[in-house]
Chains A and B, each alone.
Chain A
């Protein structure tokens, strides 16, 4: 058995490692040798990654590729077996307030007795600190964030009365209320309506134009190059990373998805045609 059949990307990785620069303090997120395992089964393996600053970056990969785990591990929500994660060259604990998070919509109970405004105000809790009440200024800030996602009219609605897309926008508004410089968003586009998708894309672009960096777990290969500047292709390990158009290639997708998705053959063929036509 040849080594390359067990470790198909070994040579490519070695090449990219040899040529990669030192982790830079300018990068909002530097991940070094990150390995995460659930029940001894590795989910992420030896991930090396520097996030480009001031860009929209998509994490793309098949189900079970460790995309959500990557976000949770860098945020310290799941323990890493090994590795180091730095934000602007510093540990997370020192820069918590500069890091915003949009979890998967399905991760909470939407029948919880709170209004949309209450949820968005939770984005301010980190700033408010221990034991202090949510003040008028924080509520006003939360209201402004709801307005940015087009949900100002729904501030007092109980969250179970919102549609899926509206709930997703509330989550986005809560992250905006964090006023962070770096955002992690776990599948914000999953199962949302067209109006919400447009609203989210607008917010993402506004964030980027304001110099913020955003990392988004994304599923739709059709829109990934339209919406994002950079792409991280993940399947347990980093398959490829770089500018969106140059990274989302037929060959890279093949390596990421391993031909397991029949649908992908069509996408790959379409991409190949597009490349040939360039």
Chain B
């Protein structure tokens, strides 16, 4: 954007430390509380799988805003009064949700199609009404358009206080109904069988979404307010497996998005506040998606790589053992990797990773151009080969599979056989005298 004056670091610091004027400070705190409430309420929305329904709701508010403005103006009132506009928004949003329910109940249309239809038709109606308002030329309609994209900077301290009060109320209501919300989100059927009024509890959850959406319209705008409800909660899910912790993290993420986003939008008045706030939330989401321990993408990729390397390492150990067995060499003798089909088929990186992992675990050592199993490696290779053959023998003798068909299955199973299973396989195969005999039994077993 040409002509945009980018703020300096000192300015950013001033705003973030609430030193950019009373009004900005109050608005930042108000929007931060809104984000907090959105994170809390959004956690249950995400877990109840109602994200799309909330989106429908927020888009459906638009015609209500336009109609409320027209009605108030026609009655000689102040069309731009916030309570009037928010009342209209609430009525239209709730009407949108009700229409979805009616369509789903009385037709065979699936819920997502019904929501898509209601969302777009209500929003289209709102867009037409807003265009009509603009043709009136009253000069007041400019304030209404801010509801679409949000203009946190344009809010008054009074508006911010209203947001803060409503957000606090929503958080308190959620705290009170925490147990009920959890029961309905996890297993509505069981909750209903226990006698909980599931419809009523769902309604309470939806009401909180309505409340947060409507008070968030001014700051974030109706297109993006849903993001403030969904994104912090979705991001929080990556960090924990406890609902309580998830709600707290979502609240923190929402609060940070609101606070930082509003601060930035105060410095960048030409950009829509809603977009900036949601971008901050989106950044937190991306960080969570990739970096969260256990559930994050990076952690999953790391686990996958570790497993892959470990499995391939076991394959290599067995191949070394079997090569030595076939050539009647000692299992600890150096072997050339180029002689092993499995190692030849690996790309260089995989080969390097597998060898490094085996060396790190003290199972393998490099011997000039060749490799050799260490004593521990010999024992491990003996164990793996034996497990592989135990499973093969078991499949052939008890599951009656053809010997040519068992190798692949044993390949998969040998990595997961635990001590108890091995003992059971040994016992069963011993009864029919088919225990596999391996050459080169490790020394520790002789001891």
A complexed with B: yes
Binding site for B on A (CB under 8 A): 39, 72, 75-77, 93, 96-97, 99, 101, 103, 107-109, 112-115, 118-119, 122, 125-126, 128, 130-134, 158, 160, 174, 178, 184
Residue B241, interface by CB 8 Å? yes
| Cβ-neighbour of A114 out of B182, B189, B190, B193 (below 8 A) | B182
**Is B240 touching A113 in the complex (CB atoms < 8 A)?**
yes
User: Interface size class for chain B?
Assistant: 20 to 34
* A101 and chain B: residue at smallest CB distance: B193
Write out the residue numbers on chain B whose beta carbons fall within 8 Å of the beta carbon of A107: 187, 189
* B237 and chain A: residue at smallest CB distance: A113
Write out the residue numbers on chain B whose beta carbons fall within 8 Å of the beta carbon of A99: 193
Residue B326, interface by CB 8 Å? no
Q: How far is the CA of A174 from the CA of B237 in the complex (A)?
A: 24
| Cβ-neighbour of B195 out of A93, A131, A158, A184 (below 8 A) | A93
Residue B47, interface by CB 8 Å? yes
Question: A125 with B196: in contact, given A113-B240, A114-B242, A131-B176 (CB under 8 Å)?
Answer: yes
9 contacts between A and B (CB under 8 A): A77-B193, A93-B195, A101-B189, A107-B187, A113-B47, A113-B240, A125-B180, A125-B196, A131-B176
Q: How far is the CA of A114 from the CA of B240 in the complex (A)?
A: 10
**Is B195 touching A96 in the complex (CB atoms < 8 A)?**
yes
**Is B194 touching A103 in the complex (CB atoms < 8 A)?**
no
| Cβ-neighbour of A122 out of B187, B192, B242 (below 8 A) | B187
Q: How far is the CA of A178 from the CA of B195 in the complex (A)?
A: 12
**Is B186 touching A114 in the complex (CB atoms < 8 A)?**
yes
A96 to chain B, nearest CB (A): 4
Contact with A along B152-177 (1 / 0, CB 8 A): 00000000000000000000000011
**Is A130 touching B241 in the complex (CB atoms < 8 A)?**
no
Contact with A along B191-212 (1 / 0, CB 8 A): 1111110000000000000000
Write out the residue numbers on chain B whose beta carbons fall within 8 Å of the beta carbon of A103: 187, 189-190, 193
Q: How far is the CA of A119 from the CA of B187 in the complex (A)?
A: 9
B219 to chain A, nearest CB (A): 29
Write out the residue numbers on chain B whose beta carbons fall within 8 Å of the beta carbon of A108: 186-187
The 4 closest A-B pairs by CB, nearest first: A158-B241, A96-B195, A126-B194, A101-B193
Write out the residue numbers on chain A whose beta carbons fall within 8 Å of the beta carbon of B68: none
**Is A96 touching B187 in the complex (CB atoms < 8 A)?**
no
Question: A174 with B190: in contact, given A96-B195, A122-B183 (CB under 8 Å)?
Answer: yes
| Cβ-neighbour of B243 out of A114, A125, A174, A178 (below 8 A) | A114
Write out the residue numbers on chain A whose beta carbons fall within 8 Å of the beta carbon of B194: 96, 101, 125-126, 178
A248 to chain B, nearest CB (A): 28
**Is B186 touching A122 in the complex (CB atoms < 8 A)?**
yes
Residue B309, interface by CB 8 Å? no
Write out the residue numbers on chain B whose beta carbons fall within 8 Å of the beta carbon of A133: 179
Write out the residue numbers on chain A whose beta carbons fall within 8 Å of the beta carbon of B192: 75-77
A85 to chain B, nearest CB (A): 13
**Is A101 touching B190 in the complex (CB atoms < 8 A)?**
yes
Binding site for A on B (CB under 8 A): 47, 108, 176-177, 179-180, 182-183, 185-187, 189-196, 237, 240-243, 245-246
Write out the residue numbers on chain A whose beta carbons fall within 8 Å of the beta carbon of B180: 125, 130-131
Write out the residue numbers on chain B whose beta carbons fall within 8 Å of the beta carbon of A174: 190
* B236 and chain A: residue at smallest CB distance: A113
Question: A125 with B241: in contact, given A99-B193, A131-B176 (CB under 8 Å)?
Answer: no
**Is B185 touching A112 in the complex (CB atoms < 8 A)?**
yes
**Is B183 touching A125 in the complex (CB atoms < 8 A)?**
yes
Write out the residue numbers on chain B whose beta carbons fall within 8 Å of the beta carbon of A101: 189-190, 193-194
Q: How far is the CA of A143 from the CA of B374 in the complex (A)?
A: 48
Q: How far is the CA of A148 from the CA of B67 in the complex (A)?
A: 61
Write out the residue numbers on chain A whose beta carbons fall within 8 Å of the beta carbon of B177: 131
Write out the residue numbers on chain A whose beta carbons fall within 8 Å of the beta carbon of B108: 39
Q: How far is the CA of A132 from the CA of B240 in the complex (A)?
A: 25
Write out the residue numbers on chain A whose beta carbons fall within 8 Å of the beta carbon of B237: 113
Beyond contacts A97-B195, A113-B246, A122-B190: 10 other A-B pairs, Cβ-Cβ < 8 A, are A103-B187, A103-B189, A107-B189, A112-B47, A114-B186, A122-B186, A125-B194, A126-B195, A126-B196, A132-B179
Write out the residue numbers on chain A whose beta carbons fall within 8 Å of the beta carbon of B190: 101, 103, 122, 174
**Is B195 touching A115 in the complex (CB atoms < 8 A)?**
no
A125 to chain B, nearest CB (A): 5
A200 to chain B, nearest CB (A): 18
Q: How far is the CA of A81 from the CA of B410 in the complex (A)?
A: 55
Write out the residue numbers on chain B whose beta carbons fall within 8 Å of the beta carbon of A109: 186
Write out the residue numbers on chain A whose beta carbons fall within 8 Å of the beta carbon of B240: 113
B176 to chain A, nearest CB (A): 5
Q: How far is the CA of A107 from the CA of B191 in the complex (A)?
A: 13
* A102 and chain B: residue at smallest CB distance: B190
Write out the residue numbers on chain B whose beta carbons fall within 8 Å of the beta carbon of A184: 193
Write out the residue numbers on chain B whose beta carbons fall within 8 Å of the beta carbon of A113: 47, 237, 240-243, 245-246
Q: How far is the CA of A125 from the CA of B177 in the complex (A)?
A: 12
Q: How far is the CA of A72 from the CA of B189 in the complex (A)?
A: 9
A143 to chain B, nearest CB (A): 17
A99 to chain B, nearest CB (A): 7
**Is A77 touching B195 in the complex (CB atoms < 8 A)?**
no
A172 to chain B, nearest CB (A): 12
Write out the residue numbers on chain B whose beta carbons fall within 8 Å of the beta carbon of A96: 194-195
Pick the most buried of B47, B108, B189, B193: most chain A CB atoms within 10 A of its CB.
B193
* A175 and chain B: residue at smallest CB distance: B190
* B244 and chain A: residue at smallest CB distance: A113
